[in-house]
Structure 1
Amino acid sequence: MGIPLSPRPARVIDLETMRQRQQARKRLIRLAPELDGLEMVYHLPSESDAYYGMPLLAWGLREDGEVVGLVPWMERLTPCQSLEDPEHGHFIGYRDPETEELFEDPPDHKVTELEQAAAYFEYEATEEPTLIQQLPETQGTHALCMDDSGEPWQLKQVFGWRLYSDGAVEALLADERLIDSTPILPGDACLYPGHSRHRVVYFFQRQIANRIRREDPATLEALALMVMPADQEG
């Protein structure tokens, strides 16, 4: 006859706490600029045979050790692997335009650079987010900034990027009233994080920003369709 086992107390699993821990391990802890022209390749489901290349701005090391390519996409500096939008694009891989090689994983030299830098610059966790790194903007990225509903939007050049201890990355924009010297550099007092003043910030590559400035009809029509949901939210 078997010996009855004493019942174990039920273990309560806090799903919200687990989710927060998983998200924390995905936060960025270090950035490295991409200076060799490597690209992200993506595919638009609406164009079955078309593939597009977009220059990588930087590489990012996450707390869990994963390294991801980063591009200014829609409203944030976005990890390439998170592009799974049926309308705007699906991530395919990385590409070296010089050799036309297509690859899935970040290059070893960038992985090593990020791991060594993260080991060298050890930051202590703080309750309030603190600035841990600044990168210059190297691609002419622009930001379309919207405030309260009904107010005109502004098209601003991005001058740099800030990484904070909570993993957030903010674009640096210039307050034209405070510019006292040029060229504008990441440490200048006229710069501010975009979301500290603007309700919505959309990022564009330089050539798209120039089309907006020239008031290209097709570009403005696409822009109106894109920003309409944000206006309705306000």
Structure 2
Amino acid sequence: MGIPLSPRPARVIDLETRRRRQQARRRLVRLAPELDGLEMVYHLPQEDDAYFGMPLLAWGLREDGEVVGLVPWMERLTPCHLLDDPEHGHFVGYRDPETEELFEAPPDHKVVELHQAAAYFEYEETREPSLIQQLPETQGTHALCMDDSGDPWQLKQVFGWRLYSDGGIEALLADEQRVDSTPILPGDDCLYPGHSRHRVVYFFQRQIANRIRREDPATLEALALMVMPPDTES
């Protein structure tokens, strides 16, 4: 007669804890500015054979060791490979406009730079997010800032970017009432993180910001559609 086997205890899988760990490994731990004019290439589905280039602002090292290109896109500084939107575009790769070379992976010299910098600058884990790095803005990026419903939006120049220990990145904007010297530089007392004061922050390249300032009709129409509250759409 066989010996009855006791049932094995069921393993409890904490999916939320696993998800948080995976997110933590994807968080950015170091930034390096892109100073050689390399671009992100993306494709718009509605443009069959059209590809577009956008200057890279920086490269970022994630905790899992992967290096990603970063561009100001919509509401945040976005890893290029995450651009996969049927309306706004799909990431294709990177491009050197001087040689017209297309490549899929970040260049080796940026990978080495970021890994070396991360090894040199070690930061202690803190309960609250702390500032670990600050970059100047080099492309003339602007932010469209919106507060409570009904308040007028503001178009403000971005003066820098802050990386925090939780992987979050904030754009630095200027409080015009506190500017006491020019040019404005990262570290000046007049600067503040965009989301500390504004409910929504959208990023635009310099040429689009200039069209908004000139009140270009087509640009303002597209802007109105973008910022229109969902319950007011027809």
Shorter-chain TM-score tier: over 0.9
Amino acid at match of 2:122: E
Residue 155 and residue 231 in structure 1: after superposition, are their counterparts in 2 closer, same or farther (change >3 A)?
farther
Residue 3 and residue 41 in structure 1: after superposition, are their counterparts in 2 closer, same or farther (change >3 A)?
farther
- TM-score for both structures, normalised by structure 2: 0.96
Is the Cα–Cα contact under 8 Å of residues 30 and 62 in structure 1 kept in the other structure? yes
Residue 132 and residue 48 in structure 1: after superposition, are their counterparts in 2 closer, same or farther (change >3 A)?
same
Report the Cα distance in structure 2 between the residues aligned to 1:3 and 1:172, rounded to whole angstroms: 70
Equivalent position of 1:119 in the other structure: 119
Equivalent position of 1:82 in the other structure: 82
Match status 1:60 vs 2:60: yes
Match status 1:95 vs 2:117: no
Residue 114 and residue 107 in structure 1: after superposition, are their counterparts in 2 closer, same or farther (change >3 A)?
same
* Deviation digits for residues 94-146 of structure 1 (CA, Å, limit 9, x no counterpart): 00000000000000000000000000001111000000000000000000000
Gaps of 5+ in 1: none
Match status 1:212 vs 2:198: no
Amino acid at match of 1:67: V
Report the Cα distance in structure 2 between the residues aligned to 1:169 and 1:217, rounded to whole angstroms: 32
Report the Cα distance in structure 1 between the residues aligned to 2:209 and 2:202, rounded to whole angstroms: 11
Is the Cα–Cα contact under 8 Å of residues 149 and 231 in structure 1 kept in the other structure? no
Quote how far apart the aligned CAs of 1:2 are. Answer: 7.3
Q: How many residues align?
A: 232
Residue 117 and residue 78 in structure 1: after superposition, are their counterparts in 2 closer, same or farther (change >3 A)?
same
Equivalent position of 2:70 in the other structure: 70
Match status 1:229 vs 2:234: no
Equivalent position of 2:173 in the other structure: 173
Equivalent position of 2:161 in the other structure: 161
User: How does 1:177-188 map onto structure 2 within 5 Å?
Assistant: 177-188=177-188
- TM-score for both structures, normalised by structure 1: 0.96
User: Which SS does the other structure have where 2:60 is aligned?
Assistant: strand
Amino acid at match of 1:178: R
Report the Cα distance in structure 2 between the residues aligned to 1:189 and 1:231, rounded to whole angstroms: 39
Report the Cα distance in structure 1 between the residues aligned to 2:141 and 2:231, rounded to whole angstroms: 22
Gaps of 5+ in 2: none
Amino acid at match of 2:37: G
User: Which SS does the other structure have where 2:94 is aligned?
Assistant: strand
Equivalent position of 2:132 in the other structure: 132
Equivalent position of 2:190 in the other structure: 190
User: Which SS does the other structure have where 2:229 is aligned?
Assistant: helix
Equivalent position of 1:147 in the other structure: 147
Residue 178 and residue 231 in structure 1: after superposition, are their counterparts in 2 closer, same or farther (change >3 A)?
farther
Report the Cα distance in structure 2 between the residues aligned to 1:231 and 1:36, rounded to whole angstroms: 44
Amino acid at match of 1:220: L
Amino acid at match of 1:114: L
Amino acid at match of 2:174: A
Quote how far apart the aligned CAs of 1:6 are. Answer: 3.8
Quote how far apart the aligned CAs of 1:18 are. Answer: 0.9
Q: CA RMSD in A?
A: 1.3
Equivalent position of 1:46 in the other structure: 46
Q: Quick one: percent identity of the two aligned structures?
A: 89
Is the Cα–Cα contact under 8 Å of residues 42 and 92 in structure 1 kept in the other structure? yes
Amino acid at match of 1:62: R
Residue 67 and residue 3 in structure 1: after superposition, are their counterparts in 2 closer, same or farther (change >3 A)?
farther
Quote how far apart the aligned CAs of 1:229 are. Answer: 3.5
